[in-house]
Amino acid sequence: MAPRLILVSNRVNVPNGGPRQAGGLTVAVNAALKNREGVWFGWSGKVSGDGEPPAVSVTERRHKTFITLDLSETDFQEYYNGFANRVLWPVLHYRVDLAEFTSVDLGGYLRVNGRFADALSPFIKPDDVIWVHDYHLLPLAKGLRARGHSNPIGFFLHIPCPPPDILEALPHDEETMGALTHYDLVGLQTEQDADNLSRYFAGLGANVYRASGLFEFDGRRVRVRAFPVAIATAVYSRAARNSAKSPLVEELRGSLGGKRLILGVDRLDYSKGIPGRIQAYGHFLEKYPEWLAKVTFLQVTPKSRAGVPEYRAIEQEVNGLVGQINGRHGDPAWTPIRYINRSYSRAALAGLYRSAQVGLVTPLRDGMNLVAKEYVAAQDPENPGVLVLSQFAGAAQELDGAVVVNPHEPEGVAAGIREALAMPLDERRDRHARMYEHLAVHDIDRWAERFLTALGEAKERPGLLKGLRSLFAQRA
Ligand code: G6P
């Protein structure tokens, strides 16, 4: 029988029967838990008073156990708003300039990781396999090892991993990024990310031994490898077909009055390049006036991390830019940009993607960007839309049929939009077929299998490194 799998992430999405608004991480975790006995452990999303002991709650649903704990107000501020989202998030997205470090927040981050380890520890059985997700929990394996657990523990980073000189800008980086050396396997989104982490690991100290993705630190071994995260391609494609007939999509189509639709869908986050995208759309309207009143740009942007000042600032910036473009180019019968701050279920979004002739995905930096993959999966293969994709999204490494643009160059993005709108049907079909085929093979189930197989192997071959070492010694 397969060993039990324990998934750990900051947020846990306990199914409640309502429509699913799951992000990429939830889709990934669900794929890993599919057909397995499993546990999903993490924060409940609730913040309790500072004096109260953290409540742990256990929910059973269809052979899965969901274990969640609340955070106190101080933990929430220091760990989540503070170190995770004001230091790690910007630095790992190459924005050292936005990082606001305090040692109090770092202390809170390490303390909450210790709380997670304490709360999880009693549930761990000797045969369990543990898989930890994302930047909130970098030191968790170290905490679990210190509590005596020698289980296989893997880690997957959903966001980018910058080069060592940027990682080293993190104060006390050895306590956070350096703690990744306590996992058996660390998975990254792209080869470039894996290479960056490998170079960082190689620089960590004198007792580091490195052999193609395998590292040894004072007797501990860790593997580093790329596992580009994926989507449930066939399921998503079906959802898009069905939802294309939904009232939401019918109404949208009716309201467009035959205009082409350009669609952007992102959390409101400075890494997503939303202001630059809006400016690029403004350039597009100015440079190619033949498209005036013939296109509508719909930007769907749920608000995010309201407790972090940088997110409030981006909200104002985007509101201002949308107003400028609509004021300048709009007329009584046409609003050039429709900007919406609410979130939609995955099924509803799938229908919107299928209705859009252009998917505009222009992050300044993104680990993968599953919107790009979902947009491709949602298209009608007979008459597909075109993906305009930032070269700085991990997805650009795989989606070779996209129109790839540099989000820092508004004229280039504007030209990309025009190219996408003008692309002949044959070319659209060819590009789409190529990308869909790739996504159909490299789907989320395969991603989870590949990671778990590699984690099993990482733990199973204790003699491997010794063997490699003696081999190299003989050759030298
Ligand atoms: C990114 C991260 C996830 C995170 C999500 C939403 O995709 O990789 O770990 O859950 O953003 O952010 P939030 O702060 O709302 O959990």
Of 303, 297, 313, nearest to 266 by C-alpha is: 303
Q: Which atom of ligand 1 is nearest to the CA of 136?
A: 9
Residue 73 predicted with pLDDT over 80: yes
Q: What is the pLDDT of residue 464?
A: 47
Angle subtended by helix axes 410-422 and 274-287, to nearest 10: 60
Catalytic residue flag (residue 366): yes
Cα 75 to ligand 1 centroid, rounded to whole Å: 17
Q: What is the pLDDT of residue 461?
A: 55
Of 413, 420, 93, 419, nearest to 279 by C-alpha is: 413
Give the DSSP H/E element, type plus range, for residue 220.
strand 220-226
Catalytic residue flag (residue 75): no
Cα 426 to ligand 1 centroid, rounded to whole Å: 37
Residues 6+ apart with CB under 8 A from 238: none
Q: How far is CA 40 from CA 12, 31, 226, in A?
A: 7, 12, 23
Residue 30, token pair as written in the block: 């669900």
Q: Which atom of ligand 1 is nearest to the CA of 304?
A: 15
Q: Using 50, 70 and 90 to split pLDDT, how confident is the model at 174? A: very high
What is the spatial distance between Cα 122 and Cα 183, in angstroms, rounded to a whole number?
19
Quickly count: other Cβ atoms within 10 Å of residue 35's Cβ: 9
User: Can you list the alpha helix ranges (DSSP code H) found in 244-334?
Assistant: 247-256, 274-287, 309-329
Residue 209 predicted with pLDDT over 90: no
To test the ligand 1 pocket, which listed residue (25, 268, 305) has its Cβ within 8 A of the most ligand atoms?
Answer: 25
Residue 85, token pair as written in the block: 């989202």
The angle at the Cα of 180, spanning 179 to 185, to the nearest 5 degrees, equals 150
Q: Which residues of 380-389 are buried (b: 16+ CB within 10 A; e: fewer)?
A: eeeebbbbbb
Q: Which pTM value belongs to this model?
A: 0.95
Pocket of ligand 1 (CB under 6 A): 11, 23-25, 134, 158-159, 304-305
222 compared with 16, residue with greater pLDDT: 222
Cα 328 to ligand 1 centroid, rounded to whole Å: 35
User: Given 93, 158, 329, 432, which residue is catalytic?
Assistant: 158
Q: Which atom of ligand 1 is nearest to the CA of 84?
A: 14
Cα 344 versus chain centre, distance: 18
Q: Which atom of ligand 1 is nearest to the CA of 80?
A: 14
What is the spatial distance between Cα 59 and Cα 352, in angstroms, rounded to a whole number?
34
Q: What is the pLDDT of residue 473?
A: 46
Three-state SS at 32: helix
What is the spatial distance between Cα 460 and Cα 28, in angstroms, rounded to a whole number?
24
Q: Are 272 and 364 in contact (CB under 8 A)?
A: yes
What is the spatial distance between Cα 296 and Cα 289, in angstroms, rounded to a whole number?
13
User: Given 93, 366, 432, 438, which residue is catalytic?
Assistant: 366
Residue 222, token pair as written in the block: 């860790």
Q: Using 50, 70 and 90 to split pLDDT, how confident is the model at 150? A: very high
Question: For 316-362, how does the pLDDT look when each residue is reduced to its tens digit (9 = 90+)?
Answer: 999 999 999 999 999 999 999 999 999 998 889 999 999 999 999 99
Q: What is the pLDDT of residue 335?
A: 98
Quickly count: other Cβ atoms within 10 Å of residue 470's Cβ: 10
Q: Are 81 and 47 in contact (CB under 8 A)?
A: no
Residue 167 predicted with pLDDT over 50: yes
Cα 286 to ligand 1 centroid, rounded to whole Å: 35
Nearest CA to ligand 1 atom 4: 25
Cα 134 to ligand 1 centroid, rounded to whole Å: 9
